[in-house]
C-alpha cells in the first residue's frame, strides 16, 4: 500500500507547477435574455456617449453599503493556543443591527454620505432624494445635464421612485431598474467608480 504524499510535498509540487489557491466565487445565474439585455444596455450607453462627448462627466453615480454595528469577529484571523480545546465561542445575533450609508458622486461633487438606520424602504429613499439629494444637485451649474445612475436595489425601483424621477426631476436623465430610456439590466455589475 502506497503512502499519501505529505501536505508539504503536495504544496511544493503545486507551487512548482505555478498553481495558486483561489476562492470559488458565487454569482447569480444569468439566462440568455439577461446577456442580451446587458449588451443592449452597453450599446445604449455607448450611443449616449457618442451623442454627448461630456456624458460621462455628467453622470452621477450612486450606491449604498451596509455596515453591521455589532462588532463582527473574523474567526479566520482569530486563533488561540492552548494544550486542550477550551471550546471557546463568540455569540452573534442572527439579524445584527446595521447602518446603511448612501452617497452619490460625479464630476461636479459628492452628495452624502447619508445614513439610514435599519432597512431602507421606498418611503425613506424618496424622502432622502427629495430632502437631501435634490437640494444639493439643483445648485450645481450643470444640473440640467446631470444623468443619475442608481442600481437595482428594491427601494430604487419602487413605483413612487420611478414616478418621481420620471415626472419632473430627471425625465429621460436617469438609469436604473424601470427607467424608461436606460433600464438597469438583471444582476448588472455596479458602475460606481
Task: List pLDDT tens digits, range 90-107.
Answer: 666 666 777 889 999 999
Percent of the chain whose pLDDT exceeds 70? 79
Of 26, 116, 133, 110, the C-alpha closest to 67 is 116
Q: What is the dihedral of CA 89, 94, 95, 101, to 10 degrees?
A: 30
Please check whether the domain covering 33-69+94-193 is classified as CATH 3.30.420.10.
yes
Residue predicted with more confidence, 74 or 105: 105
Instruction: Quickly count helices (H) and strands (E) in the chain.
Output: 5, 5
Q: Are the beta carbons of 125 and 100 closer than 8 angstroms?
A: no
Decide if 94 contacts 80 (C-beta within 8 A): no
Q: Which residues pair with 105 in a beta bridge?
A: 61, 110
The stretch 72-82 carries a mean pLDDT of: 55
In this structure, the number of other CB atoms found within 10 A of the CB of residue 136 comes to 15
pLDDT, average across residues 125-134: 93
Q: How confident is the model at residue 117 (pLDDT cuts 50, 70, 90)?
A: confident
H runs (alpha helix) in the chain: 7-16, 32-51, 122-128, 134-138, 159-164
Distance CA 141, CA 164 (A): 22
pLDDT, average across residues 58-76? 75
Of 41 and 73, the structure prediction assigns the larger pLDDT to 41
At residue 75, does pLDDT exceed 60? no
pLDDT at 189 over 70: no
Amino acid at each position: 500500500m502506497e503512502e499519501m504524499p505529505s501536505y508539504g510535498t503536495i504544496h511544493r509540487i503545486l507551487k512548482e507547477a505555478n498553481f495558486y489557491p483561489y476562492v470559488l466565487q458565487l454569482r447569480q445565474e444569468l439566462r440568455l435574455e439577461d446577456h442580451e439585455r446587458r449588451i443592449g444596455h452597453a450599446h445604449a450607453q455607448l450611443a449616449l456617449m457618442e451623442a454627448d462627448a461630456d456624458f460621462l462627466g455628467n453622470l452621477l453615480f450612486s450606491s449604498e453599503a451596509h455596515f453591521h454595528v455589532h462588532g463582527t469577529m473574523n474567526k479566520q484571523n482569530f486563533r488561540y493556543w492552548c494544550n486542550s480545546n477550551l471550546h471557546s465561542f463568540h455569540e452573534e445575533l442572527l439579524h445584527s443591527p446595521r447602518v446603511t450609508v448612501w452617497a452619490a458622486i460625479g464630476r461636479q461633487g459628492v452628495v452624502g454620505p447619508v445614513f439610514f438606520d435599519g432597512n431602507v424602504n421606498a418611503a425613506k429613499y424618496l424622502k432622502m432624494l427629495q430632502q437631501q439629494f435634490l437640494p444639493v444637485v439643483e445648485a450645481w451649474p450643470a444640473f440640467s445635464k446631470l444623468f443619475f445612475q442608481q442600481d437595482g436595489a428594491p427601494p430604487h425601483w419602487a413605483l413612487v421612485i420611478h414616478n418621481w424621477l420620471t415626472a419632473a426631476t430627471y425625465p429621460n436623465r436617469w438609469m436604473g431598474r424601470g427607467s424608461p430610456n436606460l433600464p438597469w439590466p438583471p444582476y448588472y455589475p455596479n458602475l460606481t467608480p
